[in-house]
Structure 1
Amino acid sequence: MDRLIYRMPQACDAQRLFAIYSDPNTNLFNPAGPMNDLVEAQGLLSRWIEHWEKHLYGAWAIARSDAPEYVIGFGGISAHDYLAEQRVNLGYRFAVEAWGQGYATQLGRDALTYAFEKLCLPEVYGLVRPDHKASIRVLEKIGMQPFGQLDDVPGKAPSLMFKALRGRSA
């Protein structure tokens, strides 16, 4: 049985999203820093729901199969602007209590499978800050390959870009 359950995010997820995205620990590598208020969380959820309506895929609300009502994180694939070039990006953020249990790796594998087998997308990218060793390791474990750098944060080292191609991911 799968350990994780994925579903489209809903407006009622705003409080849980805010709890996860406002935690300074979940933002250690996020140049924008923690989310400031519930209104910001509601806005992000609205954009995610609109993405689902437009593309028929997007970020998932993620729960453990033994506690399906309790969201432990958000993530999946979505269209993302890489400095004016739109690409399908793999991203995730988990609550601190979910760290260290392999959930990010499982989500990454499941998201790539979904992207390639269900949606028939040709490629998926991952963007990660160069000092975020745990996320770099996740991208490597799921078969994503280094693809280059993106100078996306003024005054900081460029983000690292990873890429997976349909038929070539782990």
Structure 2
Amino acid sequence: MPVTAARLTYRKPHPGDVQRLFAIFGDPQTNLFNPAGPMTSLAEAQRLLNRWLEQWATQGYGWWAIARREAPQHIIGFGGIAPLNYLTERRVNLGYRFAVEAWGQGYATEVGRDALVLAFDTLGLPQVFGLVRPDHAASIRVLEKIGMQRFGLLDDVPGKAPSLVMRVCHPTTARS
């Protein structure tokens, strides 16, 4: 069942989203800061979508398919929170990827805030992390705007500067 926020709607991805996922994740522009580069095949998109659907089935949450409220059938991006293994631990990581048409409109900040509401108010998680390339100034600003602070570094791309690990703690945890 879709959830409607201020300007966006969020829903669990479904198998029919594979083409749109590939269009967004296969676009070189949406991968400017992705060391792996754009997806190169529909099969790769299908594997990612299958992983997301498995996370939804086992965790009860995961990345959302995101649309504008006034056009709920047109997916403009994918994002939210999902478990990810790094820094020797399984962590809940916030992420997003939007089609170029959706850039510069504050949607990443909105998704980030809504994902933190889910993480803290609904799921009661103690903290949420974000990974960002050190030269991706726009995403760093988004993560800082939603309350994340630098937590550490992750040397995840051979021969490149390490990624920044950002973190925000549950508001009640942060005060104690």
TM-score range, shorter chain: over 0.9
Give the number of aligned pairs.
Answer: 169
1:153 lines up with 2:157 in the alignment: yes
> What 5-or-longer segments of structure 1 have no aligned partner?
none
Task: State the partner residue of 2:94.
Answer: 90
| 1:62-81 aligned within 5 A | 62-81=66-85
> What 5-or-longer segments of structure 2 have no aligned partner?
none
Task: State the partner residue of 1:21.
Answer: 25
Instruction: Report the identity percentage.
Output: 67
Counterpart of 1:3, as a letter, is: R
Runs of 4+ in structure 1 deviating by more than 6 angstroms, as ranges, are: none
* Pairwise CA distance, 1:85: 1.6
* Pairwise CA distance, 1:95: 0.1
Deviation string 1:46-86 (CA, Å, 9 cap, x unpaired) is 00000011111100000000000000000000000115421
1:11 lines up with 2:15 in the alignment: yes
The answer as to whether partners of 1:76 and 1:108 remain within 8 angstroms in 2 is yes
Counterpart of 1:33, as a letter, is: G
Which of the numbers 102, 119, 124 marks the counterpart of 1:120? 124
Counterpart of 1:41, as a letter, is: A
| 1:43-54 aligned within 5 A | 43-54=47-58
1:100 lines up with 2:89 in the alignment: no
Counterpart of 2:141, as a letter, is: R
Give the structure-1-normalised TM-score. 0.97
